[in-house]
Amino acid sequence: MNELEQLIGRIAPADQGAMEAARRRWDAVAKPLGSLGLLEDEIVWVAGMLGRPEVDFGRKAVIAMCADNGVVAEGVTQTGQEVTAIVTENMASGRSSVCRMARVAGAEVIPVDVGVARPVTGEGLIQANIRRGTANMTQGPAMTREEAVEAILTGARLVERLHGEGYGLIATGEMGIGNTTTSSAVASVLLGRPPVEMTGRGAGLSTEGLRRKIRAIERAVEVNRPDPADVLDVLHKVGGLDLAGLAGVYLGGAACRVPVLVDGFISSAAALVAARLCPAARDYMLGSHASEEPASRLMLEELGLRPFLYAGMRLGEGTGAVAVMPLLDMALAVYREMPTFEDTSIEAYQPLS
């Protein structure tokens, strides 16, 4: 059995008994039943992930997978490939958008060079480069199947290490110019929908740029003929190293029973890859927001995830997932610290018939 098969074999479904116990705790809290809505539901779900009703997130982190995509040669982006390296180093030095937001949320940003086109440096950067950017997928596979698997394992190994260091809540983030193109390609193939339905303007394409982007995806699918029944075939032919690394983060979270927040469209595409590799991995994912990309809500529906936010966000980096962390902290404060009906001598609310 290879390492990926061993990883998947460790993943078990969420604990239904722990979820039932957590729901009973919520129902005992001195407030109207279900009045915190999705906040209550997600804490219940986290209890199932942890396998116990005593929920504690511990330390929080944002894992940002950074990689370049050869498809940028097709004119599918507004900015050049060099921006990936610049923002990756800004993340490492704490100067990117997600870093500022993460400080407020009490989370650490951990950027990973899994495939940036040029060498990058920074004190907080994890060096795990598998190749210096993927190939242009309109001319052949973006990477080899073996490289895709290694990127998956890189993400999973990192989560396992963080879990051992006391991290109990992880957000997914990414940086990679061109990765909305690869994400749209992966989503198009795995969901069986035409690229025109799954492709948006990314970080700000013109109408002509959007047409080029759609044509590039159509060519990549035509040239590579990825097999939707073989998710690794899809990933290595029309995906990216950042997507593969994030898929590993989801699998690693599931194996370690660590909740993982799904960020926007790109993170959702990686989550779908993980769920197709191991359906039980879905039990360890939490939604955060619905991005402005047209396929974002389709991906969330396919994964069965409910987003907390509809804020029109499309920045990436993990910013949407980080924005939800304080909401979860607030829900957990009520769940753990509020008095019960019995404590306050208030008559308990009864379920509506």
Rounded-to-integer distance, Cα 172 and Cα 7, Å: 19
Rg (CA), the chain: 20
The amino acid sitting at 1 is: M
Determine the 3-state secondary structure of 333 from DSSP: helix
Q: In sequence order, which residues have a C-beta less than 8 Å from that of residue 167 and are 6 or more positions away?
A: 58, 59, 60, 61, 258
Q: Please state, in angstroms and rounded to a whole number, the distance separating the CA atoms of residues 142 and 341.
A: 58
Q: CA–CA separation, 240 vs 182, rounded Å?
A: 6
Gap between the Cα atoms of 235 and 273, Å rounded: 8
Answer for the pair 294, 191: CB distance below 8 angstroms, yes or no.
no
The two structure tokens encoding residue 312: 């029109």
Catalytic-role residue among 301, 317, 337, 347: 317
**Could you give the residue ranges of the DSSP H alpha helices within the chain?**
3-9, 16-28, 38-50, 82-92, 97-105, 145-164, 179-191, 195-198, 207-224, 231-238, 241-256, 265-277, 296-303, 319-337, 341-344
Residue with tokens 């929080």: 60
Contact present, 249 and 156 (Cβ < 8 Å): yes
Q: Determine whether 317 is an active site residue.
A: yes
Tokens found for residue 235 = 């990933």
CA 346, CA 285: separation in Å to the nearest integer? 36
Which DSSP category does 289 fall into?
A: B
Q: b/e for 22-36, b at 16 or more Cβ within 10 A?
A: bbebbbebebeeeeb
Which residues belong to the active site? 317
